[in-house]
Amino acid sequence: MYVAKSISDLDDLATRMMALEEEAYNQFAHIFGLRLRAFFVRRGLSESDAEDLAGSCITDIALKVRHYRHVTGGGFNAWVFTLARHALVDWLRTRLPTQELPDDLPSEAANERTEEDLSVVLAVEEALAKLPDLDRSLILLRNLKEQDTYLSFLRKNKISVGAARVRHFRALKKLKEILQVDPRITTYLKDKESLE
Amino acid sequence: MSEENNNMQQLDNYDTPDWLENALRSSAELERFGADAGEVENMSAAFHERCQEAADTALSLIKLRQERQRVGFVPLSFADYVQGLVRVANVRLSAVLQWLGIDDLKRPTPEAAKAFARLAKEIGLGVRETLIHIRIGFASLEDSAPVPLLVARHRSPMSRGNQLEECEVVLGQLESKYALDSLRELRRTEFEIRAAFHETKDKS
């Protein structure tokens, strides 16, 4: 089966789904079934829970496809990802009431603001792209809190832990400066403030 | 040395706002999410089949929604209405019912109300129409005369009344003759369906 991969391929897939093309739905299941399952496993779900949730996401997200609008830089993949994140949050809320929830669990209200969430992530992605590769990697690896990957990255690039801290600090500062003047972020923060 | 440690600690405690932390994490995850495309061939046959079924369910529901938009309201029971749409749209109902966990489309119970409301919403029915379809179904189980005939009979040649209102009047008359237990079950089902509609409305 041909598998669409690029942003424009995936946008084309969304358009074909909106036109109710059966083959497009098969492709959607084929491409995103695996991405969803892998994402849920990475977020701590068992293989079987991840498959259950991935299956239910395939139906739920395909049902919402008529609401999809292309966002520059993000595309259909980013839109599906945002909905999957929300589905995971809902799943954690309903299935694991006594377990500790992740730190980055959005509030219920934020859960409904798919487009807004997406525009923030895309703004951050664009800002990250403006940083040197090393700074970008340092920020992402430290933020993912995967100590092993972070340390092996430092070893590979011959950077000491101390030097990496300083560089990470400066890179983060630079990132914040870029984001502070991004209208998507200023609007998001204004809306967030008015909600609180 | 201790000053240096202090400086290091300051760097570690550098204040990253929550929203930025979240966005950075999402950004990293999004990058990985797209990268998983390379492993498509590793999908097991069973999971692949499950995903295809899930996508097929969505497509069936979307086609039902489209047909429902064309057809509009018809005074039929919920089961007859949905099964009619299924035939016109030429889709498979079994996968949809299985996905929703509905065992018997002909018998909406208070316990199954949430699933019925979800099905109704997905095919584009409003709460008022859904309740009328449900009530018509109850009337047929109560062995009353067919509601479409009663509605036609109720309508005077001069009246240009709203079809939904006419149905509600006729159903109200029929329900006043139901046994108390049946009526209680119907009202509970209606209550649960209304609640399920409100719940999903608040979320959408």
Averaged over A85-93, what is the pLDDT? Answer: 88
- By residue range, what is the domain housing residue B194? 45-203
| pLDDT for residue A111 | 42
Q: Among A6-20, A174-188, B4-18, B190-204, whose mean pLDDT is lowest?
A: B4-18
Averaged over B88-106, what is the pLDDT? Answer: 92
Residue A26: closest C-alpha in chain B = B52
- pLDDT bin (cut points 50, 70, 90) of residue A116 is low
Q: Is the pLDDT at A112 greater than 60, yes or no?
A: no
Averaged over A163-178, what is the pLDDT? Answer: 88
**Would the pTM of this model clear 0.80, i.e. be above it?**
no
Q: Is the pLDDT at A146 greater than 70, yes or no?
A: no
Q: Which has more confidence, B65 or B14? A: B65
Residue A144: closest C-alpha in chain B = B25
Residue B22: closest C-alpha in chain A = A104
Neighbours of B78 (CB within 10 A): 26
The shortest CB-CB distance from A166 to any of B11, B24, B40 is to: B11
- pLDDT bin (cut points 50, 70, 90) of residue B32 is confident
**Tens-place pLDDT, residues B157-170:** 655 568 888 889 88
Contact by Cβ (8 Å): A126, A155:
no
Residue B200: closest C-alpha in chain A = A112
Q: Mean pLDDT of all residues in chain B? A: 84
Measured CA angle at A100 (ends A97, A102), to 5 deg: 110
Radius of gyration (C-alpha) of chain A in whole angstroms = 19
Q: Is the pLDDT at B5 greater than 70, yes or no?
A: no
Kindly state whether A167 is in contact with chain B, defined as any CB-CB distance less than 8 angstroms: no
Q: Which residues from chain A sit within 8 angstroms of residue B203, using beta carbons?
A: 112
For A1, the 3-state DSSP assignment is coil
Q: Mean pLDDT of all residues in chain A? A: 82
Contact B11 A56 (CB under 8 A): no
Kindly state whether A33 is in contact with chain B, defined as any CB-CB distance less than 8 angstroms: yes
Residue among B158, B190, B192, B157 nearest B172 (CA): B190
Q: Is the pLDDT at A163 greater than 70, yes or no?
A: yes
Q: Is the pLDDT at B34 greater than 80, yes or no?
A: no
Is B175 domain-assigned?
yes
Q: Which residues from chain A sit within 8 angstroms of residue B63, using beta carbons?
A: 20
Q: Among A148-162, B31-45, B64-78, B91-105, whose mean pLDDT is lowest?
A: B31-45
| pLDDT for residue A54 | 96
Is B72 domain-assigned?
yes
Q: Is the pLDDT at B192 greater than 90, yes or no?
A: yes
Q: Is the pLDDT at A144 greater than 70, yes or no?
A: no
Q: How many structural domains is chain B composed of?
A: 1
| pLDDT for residue A104 | 55
Amino acid at B136: I
Contact A62 B66 (CB under 8 A): no
Is B30 domain-assigned?
no
The shortest CB-CB distance from A85 to any of B26, B40, B56 is to: B26
Averaged over B73-101, what is the pLDDT? Answer: 93
Q: Which has more confidence, A18 or A90? A: A18
Residue among A39, A55, A50 nearest B57 (CA): A55
Taking the CA of residue B79 and the nearest CA in chain A, the distance in Å comes to 22
The DSSP line for A94-115 is HH-TTSPPPTTPPPHHHHT-HH
**Tens-place pLDDT, residues A34-79:** 999 999 988 889 999 999 999 999 999 999 999 898 766 678 988 9
Contact by Cβ (8 Å): A64, B77:
no
Residue window 61-90, chain A: list those with CB within 8 Å of chain B. Answer: 62-63, 66, 77-78, 81-82, 84-85
Contact A81 B29 (CB under 8 A): yes
Q: Which residues from chain B sit within 8 angstroms of residue A128, using beta carbons?
A: 27
Contact A169 B14 (CB under 8 A): yes
**Tens-place pLDDT, residues B112-137:** 999 999 999 999 999 999 999 999 99
Averaged over B22-35, what is the pLDDT? Answer: 79
Contact by Cβ (8 Å): B76, B93:
no
Q: Which residues from chain B sit within 8 angstroms of residue A78, using beta carbons?
A: 30
| pLDDT for residue B15 | 66
Averaged over B26-34, what is the pLDDT? Answer: 80
% of chain B beyond a pLDDT of 90 = 49
Is B39 domain-assigned?
no
Contact B19 A192 (CB under 8 A): yes
